[in-house]
Structure 1
Amino acid sequence: MKTRSILMVAAAALALSACATSTPYAPAGFNGQRGGYAEQRLETDRYRVSFAGNSVTSREQVEMGLLLRAAEITVENGYDWFSTVERATDRDVRYQTFPDPFYRPYSRFWGPSWRYYHRGYWSRWNDPFWNRSDFDVREIDRFEANAEIVLGRGTKPAGDPNAFDAREVIANLGGRVTRPM
């Protein structure tokens, strides 16, 4: 009976983890989601843009969402290109432990009646296996990209690796982001 309930819990955990999806390309807090894009106007032609992902959103997806939002802001305001003045991607790492669902501290072979031979006598004390509790450790990464952008009209500056043609970015990245359902 106990084994059956452990298997059911493990199956439910696997089903829930299969449902986890990356952060969709939408405003931060859309439908209660964690992550998304946000922007703040600093001057007429200057914005701060950010995109935060959840634990299953890759760094590439986060940076793609940031560039796409910067391009959309550029076009929405009647400009042709944008240049990133400052750009950074932060990684937040945390570790989570999960108990091993198949570990049973007491069984008919290993339990309180089992004794450990140590320094000439049998004892359960000083047993390296006595207080054993198996668990799995999982590393969870979250990425957040942010940039300060300057908008411009006309042709983008030649030779500036931080300048992007907004319409080209939208054409190239618009179909590669996950949109909300």
Structure 2
Amino acid sequence: MRTLKIAAIAVLFATAANAETITPYQPAAASRSHYGYAETQLDWNRVRVSFSGAPGADLESVESALLYRAAETTLQRGFDYFAVVDHDVDTTTEFAAAGPPAPPLLPPRRYREINRHESVSEILMYHGVRPEGRANVYDARFVTSRLAGRVR
């Protein structure tokens, strides 16, 4: 019976740890924790887009969500393609106690590292066909179709 309780506690901790790794694709302002996307219009065809991942979300998923949001923003504003003119990633690391709870006065058995990523890009949006051979230039329709399953 004691083994069953310990196993149940371990599953509970594992579930709680994994719940943090998924960041909903939503406006950051709509979230109490401010995880998700945000954007600022800088000029008629220039927007700063950001995506803030929940603690534990991997960098690849944060970057994919940012690229998806840039493409979605481009289409919503009536443009066809966009160029990333500036990009930055901010990563913060925290350590959390892991493992079953220890009796008072004893330290936890181990710690786990929790990374939190926020990506920010400044994009320029254009009409027409995306020029070939230019780095960091993306067709907005193609990006949304390729990343829709990973982000939504």
In structure 1, the residue matched to 2:130 is: 156
Q: Unaligned stretches of 5+ in structure 1? A: 106-130
Shift of 1:77: 1.0
The 8 Å contact of residues 34 and 53 in structure 1, kept in 2 or not, is answered as no
Q: Secondary structure at the match of 1:61?
A: helix
Q: Secondary structure at the match of 1:145?
A: strand
Using a 3 Å threshold, how does the CA distance of structure 1 residues 44 and 133 change in structure 2: closer, same or farther? Answer: closer
1:156 maps to amino acid: R
What is the correspondence of 1:116-135 to structure 2 with a 5 Å cutoff?
A: 133=107, 135=109
In structure 2, the residue matched to 1:75 is: 75
Larger Rg: 1
CA distance in 2, matches of 1:134, 1:35: 29
CA distance in 1, matches of 2:75, 2:44: 14
The Cα offsets for residues 114-137 of structure 1, whole Å up to 9 and x where unpaired, read as xxxxxxxxxxxxxxxxx9745311
Q: Secondary structure at the match of 2:149?
A: coil
2:24 maps to amino acid: P
Q: Secondary structure at the match of 1:176?
A: helix
In structure 2, the residue matched to 1:142 is: 116
In structure 2, the residue matched to 1:49 is: 49
Using a 3 Å threshold, how does the CA distance of structure 1 residues 43 and 100 change in structure 2: closer, same or farther? Answer: same
Aligned residues: 149
Shift of 1:158: 2.3
Using a 3 Å threshold, how does the CA distance of structure 1 residues 170 and 11 change in structure 2: closer, same or farther? Answer: closer
Using a 3 Å threshold, how does the CA distance of structure 1 residues 167 and 96 change in structure 2: closer, same or farther? Answer: same
Q: Which has the higher contact order (CA 8 A, sep 6+)?
A: 1
What is the correspondence of 1:2-151 to structure 2 with a 5 Å cutoff?
A: 7=6, 10=10, 12-98=12-98, 101=101, 133=107, 135-151=109-125
Once superposed, what is the RMSD of the aligned Cα atoms?
A: 2.7
Shift of 1:92: 1.1
Using a 3 Å threshold, how does the CA distance of structure 1 residues 69 and 132 change in structure 2: closer, same or farther? Answer: closer
